[in-house]
Structure 1
Amino acid sequence: MSKDSSLTPQEVADILKIAKNTVYELIKRGDLNAYRIGRKVRIDPEDVENYKNKTKNIKTSNPSITVSNNTISSNPKPISLEDMKPNRGFVICGQDIILDILSSYLEHHPKGMPALRSYLGSYNGLFSLYQGSVQLATVHLWDGDTNKYNIPYVRRMLPGIPAIIIHLGCRMQGFYVKKGNPKGIKNWEDLKRQDISIINREKGSGTRILLDEHLRRMDIYGSSIQGYSRETLSHFAVASTVARGGADLAIGSEKIALQVQGIDFIPLQKERYELVMKKEDMEKPEFQAIIEIIRSKEFKMELEGLGGYDLDEIGQIIYET
């Protein structure tokens, strides 16, 4: 097979509808064959097809939850009553790669255990925690009335349930625009323009709620914005759409902007990414292991190696009912 027919990790990610980091994880585990040309990683199309065929026979009782050392699901399904049943194992809910690393650490901790991963957004993650179908939820939910992250939502969505919020890190959220910013986009006010089209995140994600809260404060209906109803499931997907010219603007984290060619990033808002657990679980060994891991030097150093996170407050309990 010629070199020209090979695929980049980003192209494979687009084909499989997963994040590029997940492609690297599949290669690392040996689930997907790859090779190097100089310093570049390449994958043959036939190896992508072989991987897809291998996974066609894998069945799970809940398509939005998978074991942490198996294929990562990047296409979570809407929550159903079946999904809300408890006792499905130890489940960590959220979409950031931090949680994949945390799951790996938990499995190897003396007090830990293998974890399942649910890739629901922040809003649905909190609802799942309330229903008892996940044990840990991560949130980055901004409240436009109080200008606070997470605490207002935890108080409203876990009524009568004492909870703990543990800080993981801060990330910069902003606009993805095409390289050179040909439309001259600057801030939220540009969403009022008729010549701007967007690509949106799914309902329930922290990024979607950030957008909707700003639109509410500006008294703008989403239906008035071109592309508002077009939804995708990741920062990578919206950034790639902007890079291809499929939209003028999308919202996402700065970290992803550094990994997608053909876009610029306009920083707008520093967000808090935090872990929520029920207070009654805190003394259980696996939850103690989670706290020890998050506060460990090794875990923090690994996240620093990823870049894109402000970790000054990592491990701090910032709210307790």
Structure 2
Amino acid sequence: MQSDKASKEKTTLHPRNKNRERYDLAALIKVMPELADHVKPNKYGDDSVDFSSPAAVKLLNTALLKHYYGVENWVFPDSNLTPPIPGRADYIHYIADLLIEANFGRMPAAEKITVLDIGTGASCIYPILGVMEYGFNFVAADIDADSLTTAEKIITSNPRLTDKIELRQQENPAHIFNELLYDTEQVDITMCNPPFHASAADAAKGTQRKVSSLSGKRVKTPELNFAGAGNELVYPGGEHAFIHKMIAESKLFANQCFWFTTLVSKQSNLKGIYKALDEIKATRVKTIPMGTGNKSTRIVAWSLLTPEQQKAWRESRWK
């Protein structure tokens, strides 16, 4: 197994990320006037959004998507997770880098790339960014039918997204790739932001810490500042169990995907992940550090294709 495990974390956004600099609040308020009601001076005297407010966070990210990506209609229930656009865009840029690297420094033609997004959610954010930034095709999967219905409304109300994103329900929550991918179907790369918490109680504690940190006050019953429905945040066994399930199932689809990838929030999970990838005989493992603000995370990517199979993949799909 060839390994490219990173030795240290970075805290800067990807060089192609549109939000590497401070938010242009004037420009964002121009496209989303309601955001102005949630902007106030921070402790340094600079205008800032109230990140402890779910309404403010949702307006900010809606404005970012509209101003920088041309997405005019992005409407989903307040109970669903509001994804922070800069961090989500970073994941898209890094999977693009993986495809470029696998193709000897050249991006394969966008119309030939299919990305599988596991747990796309009501916001459908990764497919939206992947289409707008690179023109990739997506299979966007989720176990929740209501989330897929909302995602469909977003897609159909934004013409650039139609015919680029196929929504697919995973009807068996015990599986990830099983019963989702067709027998002979091929996807070039997968992506996933796994549920982080092992239980609702763990999720509530995490929210309390986050909101108390953002507001500077101890809050007994905080409201999720990025919201989030249960299945978006919670999986029995948490991130560790979800990723290990994903790794085990990836072996069954070894010849149907070039790169499997997932976000890994807890650094303490990496040792077990690497061991699991050794056990399924991954031919390539790559760890990509990412960071937004004070939060550090990383992408773990793996391939199960031999060099000969990788060559055949490039010649059959990317030329």
Structure 1 length normalisation: TM-score? 0.30
More helix per residue: 2
Structure 2 length normalisation: TM-score? 0.30
